[in-house]
């Protein structure tokens, strides 16, 4: 297990390799389709400091409000590939060091991870209870009115949030290599 205290530097991120398990502690920000389109179209400055050196998490949380404070009830990852057209550019524009979600991303993001110095972190799907327990505090929420709960950008403080590096800054992707290998085996089973 590698502990990552956020924000992280480019050098730290470049030491990570696919298959590494990480535990995140610090401030991260959620963002899905609406947030990515907004960051590309309008390049808002208000999120710049929040995003530099940290993680954007593809997550549409289930939240509740208790005594005026937001609480994350479920905080599992959503499918990342939808952000493929934007992710690399958002990463470079805002100095993000990691993207977290599920299912992995494509060639464009992989190239950006290499060029800029970043990793893709895969969170476990279907483990929403534990993931919500790792969210210690909701610090802020951006564009809640306009984007709605799942799409808003939630600024959250996490502690010991677990994920696996499945794409690194050296051009490697677990998703690519596993698929290549399993397809070879599948073809043998199918055509023998």
Partner 1 sequence: MSFQLDTNRLRDAVVELIRMASTQLPEDVIQAMATGRDREDEGSPAKSVLNFMLRNAEEAKKNSTPICQDTGTNIHYITIPVGVSMRAVQQTIIEATRIATEKAYLRPNAVDSVTGKNTGDNTGEMAPYFHFEEWDEPAIKIQLALKGGGSENVSAQYKLPDNRLNAGRNLEGVYKCIIDTVNSAQGLGCAPGVIGIGIGGDRASGMLIAKKQLFRLMTDTNSDEKLAELETRLYDDLNTLGIGPMGFGGKTTVLGVKVGAAHRLPASFFVSIAYMCWADRRHTMTFTETEVTYD
Q: Residue 166 binds what, of partner 1, ligand SF4, none (CB under 5 to 8 Å, by partner type)?
A: partner 1
* 54 DSSP 8-state letter: S
Integer Cα distance of 106 and 81 in angstroms: 7
Cα distances (angstroms) measured from residue 56 to each of 154, 188, 191? 10, 39, 42
- Cis omega (within 30 of 0) for bond into 123: no
Integer Cα distance of 57 and 156 in angstroms: 10
Q: Residue 164 binds what, of partner 1, ligand SF4, none (CB under 5 to 8 Å, by partner type)?
A: partner 1
Q: How far is the CB of 128 from ligand SF4 (least distance, A)?
A: 8
Question: Pick the catalytic residue: 36, 58, 122, 175?
Answer: 36
* Footprint of ligand SF4 (CB under 6 A): 125-126
* Footprint of partner 1 (CB under 8 A): 19, 21, 61-62, 73-76, 79, 102-104, 122, 124-130, 132-133, 162, 164, 166, 174-175, 178-179, 181-183, 185-186, 189-191
Q: Is 58 labeled as catalytic in the residue annotation?
A: no
Integer Cα distance of 122 and 144 in angstroms: 25
Beta bridge partners of 173: 167
Q: How far is the CB of 49 from partner 1 (least distance, A)?
A: 29
Q: How far is the CB of 62 from ligand SF4 (least distance, A)?
A: 13
Token pair in block for residue 188: 């043998």
Q: How far is the CB of 58 from ligand SF4 (least distance, A)?
A: 12
Catalytic residues: 36
């Amino acid at each position: 297990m590698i502990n990552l205290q956020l924000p992280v530097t480019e050098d730290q991120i470049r030491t990570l390799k696919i298959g590494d398990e990480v535990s995140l502690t610090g401030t991260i920000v959620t963002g899905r389709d609406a947030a990515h389109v907004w960051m590309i179209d309008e390049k808002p400055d208000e999120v710049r400091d929040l995003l530099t050196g940290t993680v954007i998490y593809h997550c549409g949380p289930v939240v509740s409000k208790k005594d005026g404070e937001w609480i994350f009830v479920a905080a599992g990852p959503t499918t990342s590939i939808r952000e493929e057209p934007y992710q690399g550019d958002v990463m470079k524009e805002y100095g993000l060091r990691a993207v977290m979600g599920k299912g992995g991303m494509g060639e464009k993001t992989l190239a950006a991870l290499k060029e800029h110095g970043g990793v893709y972190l895969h969170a476990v799907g279907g483990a929403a209870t534990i993931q919500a327990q790792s969210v210690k505090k909701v610090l802020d929420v951006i564009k809640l009115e306009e984007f709605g709960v799942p799409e808003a950008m939630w600024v959250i403080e996490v502690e010991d949030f677990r994920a696996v590096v499945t794409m690194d800054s050296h051009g490697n992707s677990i998703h690519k290599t596993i698929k290549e290998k399993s397809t070879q085996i599948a073809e043998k089973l199918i055509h023998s």
